[in-house]
Amino acid sequence: MSSSISPLAPEAFPALPEIGGVTLRVARARYKNWDRCDLTFVTLAPGTAVAGVLTQSRCPSPEVEWCRAALPLGTARALVVNAGNSNAFTGSRGRAAVEAIAARTAAHLGCQPSDVFVASTGVIGVPLPVDKAEAGLDAAYAAAPCSWEDAAATIMTTDTFAKGARAEVTVAGRPVKLAGIIKGSGMIAPDMATMLGFIFTDAAVDPAFLQQALSDANSATFSCITVDGDTSTSDTVLAFATGVAGNRLLDSNDVEGAHEFRAALKDLCRELAQLVVRDGEGAQKLIAITVEGAESDRSAHRIAMSIANSPLVKTAIAGEDANWGRVVMAVGKAGEPAERDRLSIRFGDTQVARNGLAVEGYDEAPVAAHLKGRGVEIGVDLGLGEGRATVWTCDLTHGYISINADYRS
């Protein structure tokens, strides 16, 4: 956790609503030499539905494998998250630690271990100490309930600020609340989601429908961000629906309020995803990249991510240099259909290249002014079809190198 807050951070942590059936607690398990809590323990009402999206890394943590096995069952009673140790690449010792955490939590709550969801973040390759895990769980179970901000701060690693978002929607005449917390700052280029994110709602939602809604939201939000092109071994986003709101069960798009719920969930996910990019390691600028005119949405997404992950593009933005040639490079290397003589590029509202050529005599003054701001927009039109995508990233500064050169020390 950095002592210097990102210049892109919100002014304050938002006021998140209480979610019926959700109780938050934190404790200090001392996984790392931090003078703060590092374990978040969330208890959930019986009957809570769960859905999730998990890393596509071929070297996932035992926690990811545990969640992947439990998700098809569709129910949850608890969430346990630790920071400071990812427990990834730890073999049988890591798996044993996850099993011990789930078993001890289940014993406290009188539920099945498969009703306990577990996530970890931190250094790779160090087995999670079972004795610290169990002592931390016992301390958390006995602790007084805490705030959303406390829970969000506890799951941080190199994050510079706690991240949370809220949404409210009416489902068949009943008010429904959503709240989410997330952590992430580096190793962000997810194939599914980003680092660790947890969403809670008091809506009554069928697990299969919740999974459908979360997967759909993910494709336009968490899977559209990148900080450094690296996908974590531990990326996990879970959504929990307690049903305490008492609305008619959302189990298909035909139920009144289903579309509104899905829209609210997507808005919440987008806000959480952008908070991660705003806290990108060393970030000074938030960059939105929109690609249109592609042969398909998928093709547009791949091209946009190629631009967003380019160190040359990201360092040019850090230096406030409208080097659109680097954008051309990133489009060309994406491996997707593109025709040089149809390609157009803009920075902010200013077109700098059109139909494969620099715009003759374009005014650089508004471009320079745009690049000096905290928010930068890059637009690309391929002129080939109707495909469109927007992704978000940040600039690449010396700060990123400093943070990651010293990560284990």
Catalytic center residues: 194
d(CA 360, CA 353): 8
Rg of the chain taking only CA atoms, in angstroms: 22
d(CA 347, CA 376): 8
| Whether 280 contacts 188, CB under 8 Å | yes
- 275 within 8 A of 78, measured Cβ to Cβ: no
SS3 content of the chain, % helix, strand, coil (to 5): 35, 25, 40
Contact residues for 14 (Cβ-Cβ < 8 A; gap 6+)? 164, 165, 166
Distance CA 350, CA 322 (A): 11
**Residue 372, Cβ neighbours under 10 Å: how many?**
10
Distance CA 342, CA 323 (A): 19
**Is 157 annotated as ligand-binding?**
yes
- Listed residue (325, 128, 321, 333) closest to 229, CA to CA: 333
Degrees (nearest 5) of the Cα angle 401, 403, 408? 115
Structure tokens at 133: 């895990």
* Cβ atoms of 210 and 243 closer than 8 Å: no
* 252 annotated as ligand-binding: no
Distance, CA of 85 to chain centre: 18
User: Which of 71, 70, 59 shows the shortest CA–CA distance to 113?
Assistant: 70
- Known binding residue 194? Answer is yes
CA-CA distance, 85 to 75, in Å (whole number)?
26
**Other CB atoms closer than 10 Å to residue 369's CB: what's the count?**
12
CA distances from 137 to 147, 193, 220 (A): 18, 26, 35
Q: Is 48 annotated as a binding residue?
A: no
CB 13 within 8 A of CB 164: yes
Spatial neighbors of 151 by CB under 8 A, at least 6 apart, are 24, 26, 40, 42, 181
Annotated binding site for substrate: 157, 183, 194, 281, 404, 409
Annotated binding site: 157, 183, 194, 281, 404, 409
